[in-house]
Amino acid sequence: MNQISKWFDGLIAEAERTEDGLLFKAAGFKLEYTGGGCTAWRRSAVDGYFILITDSTGAHHRLGDCHAADSSRPDLWWIGLHLDDGDHLEGSEVATVSEAIASAQELDEGARQFAPPGD
């Protein structure tokens, strides 16, 4: 096992023990390494789509001290709907994990409108 794999396995275990991690995991999200030291909560959506949830920088699976665009505001969760090829389609920001999970569900339901019948 290489160093990155060991690091990430430890990060997953740590994240899944947190209150936020338990909620994301219960909603079907898994922690994903997105490259360059970045992480996100990921869940498959309707066929051809997936959802990522990160902090406002788009780089981490946990909230930071302040919002990336306005340091006077608290950090928020960024929820993004993506095509399987990685293209970003839609997104929103919310304050709590419960709101993030609900927003992810809304994005998934919205994507279903564009999915081929039977998906």
The DSSP result for 34-49, as a single string, is EETTEEEEEEE-STTE
Report whether 66 contacts 75 (CB < 8 A).
Answer: yes
Residue-range domain boundaries for the chain: 3-112
Say if residue 99's pLDDT is above 90. yes
**How big is the chain by its Cα radius of gyration, in Å?**
14
- What CA–CA distances, in Å, run from 73 to 6, 69, 100? 34, 9, 18
How confident is the model over 61-65, as a mean pLDDT?
94
How confident is the model over 56-78, as a mean pLDDT?
95
Bridge partner residues of 83 (DSSP)? 49
Q: According to the model, what pLDDT value does residue 78 have?
A: 96
Bridge partner residues of 40 (DSSP)? 32
Q: According to the model, what pLDDT value does residue 118 have?
A: 60
Question: pLDDT grade, residue 26 (50/70/90)?
Answer: very high
pLDDT tens, position by position, 41-51: 999 998 889 99
Which residues have a Cβ under 8 Å from the Cβ of 67 and sit 6 or more positions away?
56, 73, 74, 75, 76
Bridge partner residues of 88 (DSSP)? 82
Contacts 24+ apart (CB under 8 A), 42-45: 43/104, 45/81, 45/104, 45/107, 45/108, 45/111
Q: According to the model, what pLDDT value does residue 57 have?
A: 94
For the question of whether the overall pTM of this predicted structure is more than 0.85, the answer is yes
